[in-house]
Amino acid sequence: MSAHHTTMRSKEELREKWMKPEVITGSEILLRSLLLEGVECVFGYPGGAVLYIYDAMHGFDDFNHLLTRHEQGAIHAADGYARASGKVGVCIATSGPGATNLVTGIATAYMDSIPLVVITGNVATSLIGTDAFQEADITGITMPVTKHSYLVRDVEDLPRVIHEAFHIASTGRKGPVLIDIPKDVSAEKTLFKPVDTVNIRGYNPTVQPNKYQVDKLAKAIQESERPVILAGAGVVHSGAHEELLEFVNKTGIPVTTTLLGLGGFPSGHELWMGMPGMHGTYTANNAIQQSDLLINIGARFDDRVTMKLEGFAPHAKIVHIDIDPAEIGKNVPTDIPIVGDILTTLLETNAVVNYTTKADAWRDQIKQMKAEKPLRYVDSSDELKPQWVIEMIHETTNGDAIVTTDVGQHQMWSAQYYRFNQPRSFITSGGLGTMGFGFPSAIGAQLAHPDRVVVSINGDGGMQMCAQELAICAINNIPVKVAIINNQVLGMVRQWQEIIYDNRYSHIDLAGSPDFVKLAEAYGVRGFRATSKEEALAAWEEALNTPGPAVVEFVVRKHENVFPMVTQGSTIDQMIMGDSE
């Protein structure tokens, strides 16, 4: 499967071909409209209610579709594609169980503000509400986790609905939009008239910030002695990483980036403090607690960042810049609210801010904290440590890979020990924390960037939730490199049970997992196993040099914990530092 590399002229010719007004079916209208929106690949799985749509794909060479092995694989792949490319990801599934298998992926994208257009089939309009075979009210089921949804009852509405869906998904606070198409609507014929204008009453996201508020921010920076920037995924979503760097260089304010903000600011910069929160760095957490001005740029003050709210940033004046007004003041009372697009807001802010000379002592203090309390772990010569594996992956890829993770300890170690310098290079399920997300999202990321190294770091638990997608890597030669951090337990659950539940280990043993090397080989993918540093270096090098996909199982120490750690009910400076202290 390859992206179609067409010349500009042939692209224009294709557009003309797709836009030609003809009497065609709803299914053909859907495919043409997706192409006109610039969709390069659709991830999906057919079934009865979408057969007209799949029939329209037959022989339609301009249209690219990737058949996954599970609907959840399809939507996570579309999500990974969207996160890696910044474009709208698209997936398709049939009615009933096909649609309900997408729900976890829709919720994952919704929590992390990822632009998706999710297309589901439904039973014929005459059967809706009759409990027909494979009927499920998917618009009702997903209402809390979509930005908007459509049930298309008239084929003439399709061009407008599709164009609106892409507009809604990709503007303002981005998110998933659902289009539910009954079977008879996909079969009906009408004159295709492409739509390229949008007029949605009541939908008009605020892009321009209030100038008065921007001036207030500039004044607050001048008066601050201990300022801190908390940068979130909004920086990445709005493409504002260069403007953030300029803002930091102009003002000299130290930066911490949230889990989903990683890569939005270069980790090599002297003012970067690492990630904050439950598994944040000593420096980032203490800086927030001691700050007198906290500038939140596109983060949502998630509970894993703030921990105990009552004691969060107790001395700080709070500035919150966000495109979604509902986020401002939701968790943390805000002194200077700024509603607007991050890129636009930073462009305006950079024009009026200056270097904060009052913060010289603060910068020295941050530098000292970073030097005295860096992230550290106790290495071993006879056991493979997961942190060492992540550092090794970082070094062998020069920090330039796109890294996707599943959820758990390996996710936190990846966030801590892989140093990201580029936006859209760390792809992980932040808000929902979805196991099974890591590997399929890597497939989408690889299709978005065929020339980049894509590494999927997984636990032995999450890998088994979507392992069947190895088939599509083998068949389509998608060169994702899969690293399985195998500690034979549900690691993060085990860590909580050890620290919070007094070593009462309950149902976490994954010892019955398959031989991952044989599993990879069963799908036609090269598999390697490593139990020591020597084996790890050799296996990983061979995996990187394999032209297609490869799986490396790193057998690591079972009882390794992620530190620092803040337990629930504690403030973020009350960190358990672990064995290294």
Per residue in 432-455, pLDDT (tens digit) is 999 999 999 999 999 999 999 999
pLDDT > 70: what percent of the chain?
A: 98
Same domain, 487 and 544: yes
Report CA torsion sign: 161, 23, 99, 174.
negative
Same domain, 417 and 553: yes
Same domain, 220 and 185: no
Helices (H) and strands (E) in the chain, counts: 23, 19
Closest listed residue to residue 405, CA positions, set 460, 334, 457: 457
Same domain, 412 and 541: yes
26, pLDDT greater than 60? yes
Residue 286 within any structural domain of the chain: yes
Instruction: State mean pLDDT over 295-324.
Output: 97
What's residue 580's pLDDT? 59
Same domain, 177 and 273: no
CA 440 to chain centre: 12
Residue 289 within any structural domain of the chain: yes
DSSP state of 545: H
What is the C-alpha separation between 356 and 117, in angstroms, rounded?
44
Domain end point (choices 352, 373, 394)? 373
Query: Is 492 designated active site?
Result: yes
Model confidence at 7, pLDDT cuts 50, 70, 90, reads: low
Pick the catalytic residue: 1, 19, 40, 134? 134
Instruction: State mean pLDDT over 332-348.
Output: 98
Residue 581 within any structural domain of the chain: no
Same domain, 369 and 390: no
Nearest 5°: the CA angle 183, 189, 192 is 115
Pick the catalytic residue: 28, 37, 71, 391? 71
CA 379 to chain centre: 30
Condensed to tens digits (0 to 9), the pLDDT of residues 171-184 reads 999 999 999 999 99
CA 323 to chain centre: 18
What's residue 1's pLDDT? 47
4, pLDDT greater than 50? no
Range of the domain at 113: 11-192
24, pLDDT greater than 70? yes
303, pLDDT greater than 60? yes
Residue 43 within any structural domain of the chain: yes
Report CA torsion sign: 458, 463, 469, 470.
positive
298, pLDDT greater than 90? yes
Report strand pairing: 148-151 vs 42-45.
unpaired
pTM of the complete model: 0.97
125, pLDDT greater than 70? yes
The answer to whether 313 touches 288, Cβ cutoff 8 Å, is yes
Same domain, 402 and 357: no
What mean pLDDT is reported for the chain? 96
458, pLDDT greater than 50? yes
Same domain, 284 and 422: no
Model confidence at 61, pLDDT cuts 50, 70, 90, reads: very high
CATH of the domain at 432: 3.40.50.970
pLDDT > 90: what percent of the chain?
A: 96
Same domain, 246 and 317: yes
573, pLDDT greater than 80? yes
Report CA torsion sign: 60, 64, 70, 71.
negative
Closest listed residue to residue 478, CA positions, set 552, 548, 381: 548
Peptide linkage before 514 cis (omega within 30 of 0): no
Same domain, 240 and 184: no
CATH of the domain at 301: 3.40.50.1220
Condensed to tens digits (0 to 9), the pLDDT of residues 189-247 reads 999 999 999 999 999 999 999 999 999 999 999 999 999 999 999 999 999 999 999 99
What is the C-alpha separation between 252 and 244, in angstroms, rounded?
11
Instruction: State mean pLDDT over 251-277.
Output: 98
Domain end point (choices 338, 373, 408)? 373
Query: Is 71 designated active site?
Result: yes
557, pLDDT greater than 50? yes
Pick the catalytic residue: 147, 183, 385, 481? 183
Residue 199 within any structural domain of the chain: no
Domain end point (choices 192, 226, 241)? 192
Pick the catalytic residue: 111, 435, 492, 575? 492
Condensed to tens digits (0 to 9), the pLDDT of residues 94-119 reads 999 999 999 999 999 999 999 999 99
Residue 245: in which H helix or E strand, if any? Answer: helix 241-251
Residue 571 within any structural domain of the chain: no
Query: Is 370 designated active site?
Result: no
Domain count, the chain: 3
Closest listed residue to residue 69, CA positions, set 44, 90, 50, 92: 44
Same domain, 283 and 431: no
Instruction: State mean pLDDT over 268-274.
Output: 97
Pick the catalytic residue: 20, 133, 208, 568? 133
Same domain, 67 and 155: yes
The answer to whether 179 touches 119, Cβ cutoff 8 Å, is yes
Residue 202 within any structural domain of the chain: no
Residue 86 within any structural domain of the chain: yes
